[in-house]
Amino acid sequence: MYSEKVMDHFNNPRNVGVLKDANGIGQVGNPVCGDIMKMYLRIEDGVITGVSFKTFGCGAAIATSSMATELVRGKTVEEALQLSNKAVAEALDGLPPVKMHCSVLAEEGIKAAIADYYKRQGK
Amino acid sequence: MKIDLLSLSCHKFRGPKGTGVLYVRKGLRLPSNMLGGGQERGSRSGAENVAGIVGFGAALEEASANIPENARRVTAMRDRLITGLLKIPCSRLTGDPLNRLPGIASFVFECVEGESLVLMLDQNGICGSSGSACSSGSLDPSHVLMAIGLPHEVAHGSLRLSLGEDNTESADHNASSGHVPPMGGPRF
Main-chain dihedrals φ then ψ at residue A119, nearest 5 degrees: -60, -45
CB atoms within 10 A of CB B100: 16
Using CB atoms, which residue from B119, B123, B132 is nearest to A34? B132
Q: Which of residues 55-84 of B touch A (CB under 8 A)?
A: none
**pLDDT score at B184:** 44
Say how many Å lie between the first and final Cα of chain A, rounded: 43
State whether residue B132 sits within 8 Å of chain A by CB. yes
Say how many Å lie between the first and final Cα of chain B, rounded: 49
Using CB atoms, which residue from A32, A38, A56 is nearest to B113? A56
Residue (of B142, B173, B168, B8) closest to B80 by Cα position? B173
Cβ contact (<8 Å) for B135 and A58? yes
Mean of all residue pLDDT scores within chain A: 95
pLDDT in tens, A38-80: 999 999 999 999 999 999 999 999 999 999 999 999 999 999 9
Cβ contact (<8 Å) for A34 and B141? yes
Three-state DSSP string of A45-89: CCEEEEEEEEEECCHHHHHHHHHHHHHHCCCEHHHHHCCCHHHHH
State whether residue A31 sits within 8 Å of chain B by CB. yes
**pLDDT score at B178:** 58
d(CA A105, CA B18): 39
Cβ contact (<8 Å) for B115 and A58? yes
**pLDDT score at B181:** 47
d(CA A107, CA B98): 46
3-class secondary structure, A91: helix
d(CA B17, CA B9): 8
Of the residues A1, A18, A33, A81, only one is catalytic, namely: A33
Which chain A residue has the Cα nearest residue B114? Answer: A58
Residues in chain B: 188
**pLDDT score at B89:** 86
State whether residue A54 sits within 8 Å of chain B by CB. yes
CB burial of residue A119 (10 Å; 0-12, 13-18, 19+): exposed
d(CA B59, CA B61): 5
Cβ contact (<8 Å) for A62 and B116? yes
Cβ contact (<8 Å) for A59 and B115? yes
Alpha-carbon A41 to chain mean position: 10
Counting one residue from chain A and one from chain B, the pairs whose CB atoms sit within 8 A come to: 58
| Annotation says A58 is catalytic | no
**pLDDT score at B174:** 67
Query: What is the amino acid identity at position A25?
Result: I
Cβ contact (<8 Å) for A58 and B188? no
Cβ contact (<8 Å) for B119 and A31? no
3-class secondary structure, B35: coil
For chain B, which residues score pLDDT lower than 70?
173-187
> In whole angstroms, how far apart are CA B115 and each of A49, A66, B13?
32, 17, 26
d(CA A92, CA A88): 6
Asked if residue B107 lies in contact with residue B94, where contact means CB atoms within 8 angstroms, the answer is: yes
What is residue A14's DSSP assignment? Answer: S
**pLDDT score at B135:** 73
Asked if residue B53 lies in contact with residue B19, where contact means CB atoms within 8 angstroms, the answer is: yes
Contacts A1 to B, Cβ<8 Å? none
**pLDDT score at B167:** 78
Asked if residue B187 lies in contact with residue B89, where contact means CB atoms within 8 angstroms, the answer is: no
**pLDDT score at B177:** 64
State whether residue A109 sits within 8 Å of chain B by CB. no
Helix (H) or strand (E) holding A108: helix A100-120
Half-sphere exposure of A54 (CA within 13 A, CB side): 13
ipTM above 0.90, yes or no: no
